Amino acid sequence: MTDNRFLKVLKDAEEKKIAVGAVNIFNYLTADAAIQAAKELGVNLILQTSAGTVEHFGAEKLYAMIDAARKDAGIIVSIHLDHCRSIELGKACVDAGWDSVMMDFSHLPLEENIANTKEVADYAHAKGVAIEGEIGIISGVEEEISASDEVKAGYDETMTFIKGSDVDAIAPAIGTAHGVYHGVPKLDFDLVEQLGKEDTPVVIHGGSGLSAETFIKLIKLGGRKVNISTIVKNAYLDTTRELVESGEKYAPIPFDTKVFEAVKDVVKKHLAVFSGLKDEF
Ligand SMILES: [Zn+2]
């Protein structure tokens, strides 16, 4: 497991007291743009794919595509599966070459969450692949998974989950939400601080739309991986729509070039804050 990229970037983040950005990508352009952003800053990166994206491309084709994008990047680029509720799909990504998988059985009772996560953890670890787990439900919509109300899990329950499931990173329910925030979210900074003192790296989900100040506080308390998804999708789609409506020459390559720049910009702004290079977007 010492060569595992996911563990390496998290260890590096812990040593530097920063967070590694985990960017949801859904095609070659977004993977390439995120890598370019990280390269320009000289920071490591996690590229994550939703279960839906894996199903769309097929695990082996998707892996080959992202793996090609990270060749000669000069930084560590780790490939991660985000929120997976299918044991079968999680194992398929382990077999296809993913560096890590996140299994999300947070909607199940604690015992079942532990048992299901542990099954994939054992399978993954035997093949040198790392695993992230979730406890307490992070509200909002993340592709095909949605939850209306966050279910809290405190420090003791979270530690029981970590020990029982053997995960390498933990996504606790701290009050962040997937999608776009309506108003300022109330976050459980105390829980991040308590978990930040433990050995298992803390993952912050629902990063899109939080202020730079909030990110900096969460990272200071121990957040070591920060996920961004919605802002990447919005940069991609909003720029595409603007171009289509702009009356500019209707040609794919110039459009793609501008979409690439828009995605790269939004990712770069966030990575700069996560890695402590800037204190505002
Ligand atoms: Zn999430």
**Any idea where the domains of the chain sit in the sequence?**
5-274
Question: Residue 16 to residues 9, 13, 120: CA-CA distances in angstroms?
Answer: 11, 5, 30
Per-residue model confidence (pLDDT) at position 67: 98
Tokens for 251, please give them.
């040609």
Per-residue model confidence (pLDDT) at position 181: 84
**Which candidate, 158, 147, 243, places its Cα nearest to that of 202?**
158
Q: Could you read off the pLDDT of 100-157 as tens digits, one per residue?
A: 999 999 999 999 999 999 999 999 999 999 999 999 877 676 666 666 555 679 999 9
**Ligand 1 centroid to residue 197 C-alpha, Å:** 22
CATH level 3 topology of 5-274: TIM Barrel (3.20.20)
**Ligand 1 centroid to residue 123 C-alpha, Å:** 22
Neighbours of ion ligand 1 (CB under 5 A): 205
**Catalytic residue from among 82, 99, 104, 168:** 82
Please state the three-class secondary structure of 198-257 as a single string.
CCCCEEECCCCCCCHHHHHHHHHHCEEEEEECHHHHHHHHHHHHHHHHHCCCCCHHHHHH
**Ligand 1 centroid to residue 55 C-alpha, Å:** 18
The answer to whether 165 and 118 are in contact (CB under 8 A) is yes
| Long-range contacts (CB closer than 8 Å, 24 or more residues apart) made by 181-188 | 181/209, 181/210, 185/210, 187/214, 187/218, 188/152
pTM: 0.95
Q: Could you read off the pLDDT of 56-111 as tens digits, one per residue?
A: 999 999 999 999 999 999 999 999 999 999 999 999 999 999 999 999 999 999 99
82 catalytic, yes or no? yes
Q: Could you read off the pLDDT of 11-30 as tens digits, one per residue?
A: 999 999 999 999 999 999 99
